[in-house]
Amino acid sequence: LHVNIFDTSNLQFTIPTSVISRPDPPSTSYINGSDLVFNYDASPFAFWITRRSLPDAFPLFDTRQSSLPATPIPPFMPGDNSTALDGFPLVFEDQYLQLTSSLPYGTNIYGLGEVIASSGFRRDIGT
């Protein structure tokens, strides 16, 4: 599943493909055969990704305010003084995108923030 957030007028800056090589989109749509489902609310805008085969399971990725834990939350690791920040709605500005999401522990995210790596983007809790 590939989620691309952009303005409909295509006025916002995007990194040129000459700088970051991206794979070509598939020639066949897998929307009906994929186990991944993209869900969204239009107002206030939020989206979440679920598995078709596990409709009652927690979403794999969720930007809805209701999915975020109450803050501040205690540190995940003993001796770690970090805490969760308050969640903010989607912020979409020229050359800037901010979103808050709820993720299952140990989740990998691929392609977030123009990170293209086979290992994905994993936030190491406690660092």
69 is a domain residue:
yes
28 is a domain residue:
no
77 is a domain residue:
yes
Count CB atoms within 10 A of the CB of residue 75: 14
pLDDT at 32: 77
pLDDT(35) > 90: yes
User: pLDDT, tens digit, for every residue of 48-75?
Assistant: 999 999 988 888 888 888 887 766 666 5
CA atoms within 13 A on the CB side of 111: 10
Q: How many domains does the chain have?
A: 1
> Residue 127 — very low, low, confident or very high, per pLDDT cuts 50/70/90?
very low
114 is a domain residue:
yes
1 is a domain residue:
yes
Helices and strands counted in the chain (H then E): 0, 5
Average pLDDT (30-43) is 87
* Greater model confidence, 3 or 103: 3
User: pLDDT, tens digit, for every residue of 74-113?
Assistant: 656 666 655 555 666 677 777 777 777 877 777 777 766 6
Beta bridge partners, 39, equal 48
CA distances to 7, 13, 22, 96, 108 from 92, rounded to whole Å, are: 9, 12, 22, 6, 23
Looking only at Cα atoms, what is the longest distance across the chain? 50
* Greater model confidence, 45 or 23: 45
46 is a domain residue:
yes
* Greater model confidence, 94 or 27: 27
29 is a domain residue:
no
CA 77/CA 27 separation, integer angstroms: 45
pLDDT at 117: 59
Structural domain range at position 100: 1-23+34-127
